[in-house]
Chain A
């Protein structure tokens, strides 16, 4: 028997083991009466963005609010503060970048990890943001790029549109497509491994900056 057959047969044998070791299956699958936890929220508009902003800030992300009209200025100001000149971007970012920046699109043949490490930062969009947890989710779409580009550089600037923000984790899960590679990001890289003291910045980008674009 293959290991697969063997393990599956063991599972079936285990399921036959009743409480006294002799009886039929005693597995009682709990009846599932639809979720009773929150799966939808009415929270919307400015309250939703405000919650997201405060939760992002709580975990030490830098957050800015912008309108469509001020978006370019906010991006420019953030990159200037950071002194980020050499920027890697996904294949189809479609965002206005300031003139002092040299932006390299990560297209085939893709940049190597070592090449990515030489950039000052990365600018991406996002797929979904979760207000309650202060999380942005990237799904590898052309305006977000391969997972590596938002991982190796030390600085990540992420632009989130108001329409991408949901309140709850289950709402985000429902919006996301399982087949895509997903990265859920809540604040910059951190560790609490030394005496449970939170330290920002181990291997992922040590600075996460988010521009929220109100609709």
Chain B
């Protein structure tokens, strides 16, 4: 059964027999959570692309300024962050109860709830629903969850065409490309590249199309209009699912989301189980945190909320697919589970010096940037994304901007330690991918500075008491003045590897088949 692939062996329970109900990782061979190349290799490729770096630099600079401006408008921003964190922590503490409540509420309002252990099961459920509706085409509003499970590929295999309707997703789809940012998936493309893609791929576009963003948006509008008006099945994700009421919520800008959740007769929503929020009033917190953190707007242009079926208004066949796909494995880690609090605003990407230089593709997962570095390895099992926890300089900017206060640097350090621990405990050599993770560091920062930082980080261990460090030697001293740093693992991976294996490059992979 796919659900048992890549199960973690938890410290203290080596080789324990795992009954079917144990938390499970996302299966291999489906979806977009694992990289073809480890981070350092992909990052080096990205770093060689000057155009990409220019596009990214411009975009992240713009969006950082916008976010800062609208955040500073609110006198209670810190209180909202604290509330967001508290709500998420409380939700995870009772996740089973909230999901049961959501299930009951959606069902009571005429919706149908499906549960999926993993990507394969979710893809099968959605495919069967589309087929039952007699459709060979679906319109989709941008959804990370459906991208995570590779839904479009699964639908295509069943002869169903999935049309991405978000402008950026359309650019990515027509460019036969992969998204590179949570919020602005085509952030790596500039306007003239986009015009070229449209001219090449859209059969209904005028050859005089300019690279003016307004003209490009108009071309997308014309291209998708007919699809929207005739679509019988819409597919969405959900930003929030309210347990108390059964209400699902999609936050967007262009109106393509409204089209997808309103016009078709059948609506299928794929939602990760961590997206549930307990009560209606919680929306008052997240509808402030999310838009200001993501697009840097006081409010995004459109937010749609629906509760089961509304007779005579919108889809009359409404489905919700609740997706695990590795989330329970993350939940089982008392530290790591904070990554499940993420509301996918992408603020942490936009402030990350590593992301700004490498872009999203280097992370090899639908979840790039700092949050991806802590979420993807937990969903897949660390061994399958072993270089990602090292794809960071631990500068802490991500923590400062996170609207739900996820301590990403702490999680990174925790996952590095856990990975070394797991490798040691199972007495296996880390995979070839794991070997290269130390090299990642060299790509991420000036080599000299990094080496200094790493050894400084190690000596920081000597100062740690009860898991916190209060002072570090330079150059990290300035950083710890601003916040308590988590204690780094006793050895960096590189130190550990050199200590145990000398110069052995360890290309072999004797993990055994899992």
- Partner of A191 from B13, B62, B254 at Cβ < 8 Å: B254
B324 within 8 A of A: yes
The CA-CA distance from A133 to B224 in the complex, in Å, is 29
Q: A29-B90, A151-B259, A174-B281 are in contact. Are A3 and B115 (CB under 8 A)?
A: yes
Residues from chain A with a CB closer than 8 A to the CB of B115 are: 2-4, 6-7
Tell me whether B20 and A195 are in contact (CB under 8 A). no
Residue of B nearest to A188 (CB): B301
At the interface, is chain A mostly helix, strand, loop or mixed?
Answer: loop
Report the count of interface residues on B (CB-CB < 8 A). 111
Q: Which of the segments B154-162, B213-221, B445-453, B474-482 contacts the partner chain?
A: B213-221
Q: Which of B58, B86, B216 neighbours the largest number of chain A CB atoms within 10 Å of its CB?
A: B86
Q: A10-B324, A108-B312 are in contact. Are A194 and B301 (CB under 8 A)?
A: no
Within 8 A of A (CB), among B111-164: 114-117, 121
A100 within 8 A of B: no
B174 within 8 A of A: no
Residues from chain B with a CB closer than 8 A to the CB of A179 are: 109, 245, 307
Tell me whether A185 and B301 are in contact (CB under 8 A). yes
Contact with A along B81-114 (1 / 0, CB 8 A): 0110110011011111001100100000100001
Tell me whether B310 and A204 are in contact (CB under 8 A). no
Q: A17-B334, A59-B297, A199-B217 are in contact. Are A36 and B10 (CB under 8 A)?
A: no
The CA-CA distance from A181 to B308 in the complex, in Å, is 9
Tell me whether A186 and B299 are in contact (CB under 8 A). yes
Q: A10-B24, A21-B12 are in contact. Are A193 and B287 (CB under 8 A)?
A: no
Q: A17-B10, A30-B90 are in contact. Are A184 and B303 (CB under 8 A)?
A: yes
Residues from chain A with a CB closer than 8 A to the CB of B242 are: 178
Tell me whether B89 and A30 are in contact (CB under 8 A). yes
A135–chain B nearest beta-carbon distance, Å: 5
Residues from chain B with a CB closer than 8 A to the CB of A181 are: 304-307, 310, 313-314
Residues from chain A with a CB closer than 8 A to the CB of B313 are: 140, 146-148, 181
Residues from chain B with a CB closer than 8 A to the CB of A195 are: 55, 58-59, 190-191, 213
The CA-CA distance from A70 to B292 in the complex, in Å, is 36
Residues from chain B with a CB closer than 8 A to the CB of A77 are: none
A202–chain B nearest beta-carbon distance, Å: 4
Q: Which of the segments A42-50, A80-88, A110-118, A157-165 contacts the partner chain?
A: A110-118
25 A-B pairs within 8 Å (CB atoms) are namely A6-B20, A8-B100, A10-B324, A11-B273, A13-B22, A36-B79, A36-B83, A37-B80, A37-B83, A113-B230, A134-B299, A151-B263, A152-B263, A178-B305, A182-B303, A182-B304, A184-B303, A192-B184, A194-B194, A202-B167, A203-B224, A203-B254, A203-B255, A204-B255, A204-B259
* 7 closest cross-chain pairs (CB), A and B: A204-B255, A9-B21, A170-B284, A21-B12, A178-B245, A203-B255, A14-B332
Given contacts A14-B331, A186-B300, A201-B221, 7 further A-B contacts (CB under 8 A): A20-B11, A37-B76, A38-B75, A113-B228, A183-B258, A186-B299, A196-B184
Interfacial residues, chain A to chain B (CB-CB below 8 A): 1-4, 6-15, 17-22, 26-30, 32, 35-39, 55, 58-59, 108, 110, 113-114, 117, 130, 132-135, 140, 146-148, 151-152, 168-170, 172-174, 178-197, 199, 201-205
Interfacial residues, chain B to chain A (CB-CB below 8 A): 3, 10-13, 20-24, 55, 58-59, 62-63, 75-76, 79-80, 82-83, 85-86, 89-90, 92-96, 99-100, 103, 109, 114-117, 121, 165-168, 171, 184-187, 190-191, 194, 213-214, 216-218, 220-221, 224-225, 228-230, 242, 244-247, 253-256, 258-259, 262-263, 273, 280-281, 283-285, 287-288, 291, 295, 297-307, 310, 312-314, 322, 324, 328-329, 331-335, 337
